[in-house]
């Protein structure tokens, strides 16, 4: 199985801060990577697909970059409603695997 390692596992940032979450794959996954946001008690929501494509309806402060084994999700200007847990997902090869999640809290 491909291992997806996210960092950090948790973070606290202030409104307006630039936040970056990293996801590293144990082997090359091309750009078969998505990012999901899960707010407390809610269903996960896709933010980014194909590593860098913004899902329709998602604010432009969210952006994704990367290819191969290293990927980042950046929130440019953290908002209070961005609190939650963020997960990366690789779908390059089966079984698909998620990162362990990054919990984002607002200071």
Partner 1 sequence: QVQLQQWGAGLLKPSETLSLTCAVSGGSFSGYFWGWIRQPPGKGLEWIAEINHSGGTKYKPSLRSRVTISLDTTKNQFSLRVRSVTAADTAVYYCVRGPKYSSPDHWGQGTLVTVSS
Give residues in contact with partner 1 (CB under 8 A). Answer: 1, 32-34, 36, 43-46, 49-50, 55, 87, 89, 91, 94-101
Closest to partner 1 by CB, 17 vs 68, is 68
Which among 94, 98, 85 is positioned nearest to 25, based on CA atoms?
98
Which alpha helices (H) appear in 1-107, and where do they start and end? none
Q: Where are the beta strands (DSSP E) in the chain?
A: 4-7, 10-13, 18-25, 33-38, 45-49, 53-54, 62-67, 70-76, 84-90, 97-98, 102-106
Strand 53-54 relative to strand 45-49, pairing: antiparallel
CB of residue 97 to partner 1, shortest distance in Å: 7
Q: How far is the CB of 16 from partner 1 (least distance, A)?
A: 28
List the structure tokens of 20.
């970056």
Give the shortest CB-15-to-partner 1 separation in angstroms. Answer: 26
Nearer to partner 1, 61 or 103 (CB): 103
Asked if residues 61 and 20 have their Cβ atoms less than 8 Å apart, the reply is: no
Nearer to partner 1, 15 or 105 (CB): 105
Q: How far is the CB of 28 from partner 1 (least distance, A)?
A: 17
Q: Which is nearer to partner 1, 14 or 94 (CB)?
A: 94
């Amino acid at each position: 199985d491909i291992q997806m390692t996210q960092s950090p596992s948790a973070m606290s940032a202030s409104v307006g801060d630039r936040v970056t979450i990293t996801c590293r794959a144990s082997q090359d996954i091309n750009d078969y990577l998505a990012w999901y946001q899960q707010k407390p008690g809610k269903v996960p929501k896709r933010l980014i697909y194909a590593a860098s494509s913004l899902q329709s309806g998602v604010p432009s402060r969210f952006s994704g970059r990367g290819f191969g084994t290293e990927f980042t999700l950046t929130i440019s200007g953290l908002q209070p409603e961005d609190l939650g847990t963020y997960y990366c997902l690789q779908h390059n090869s089966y079984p698909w695997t998620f990162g362990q999640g990054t919990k984002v809290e607002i200071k």
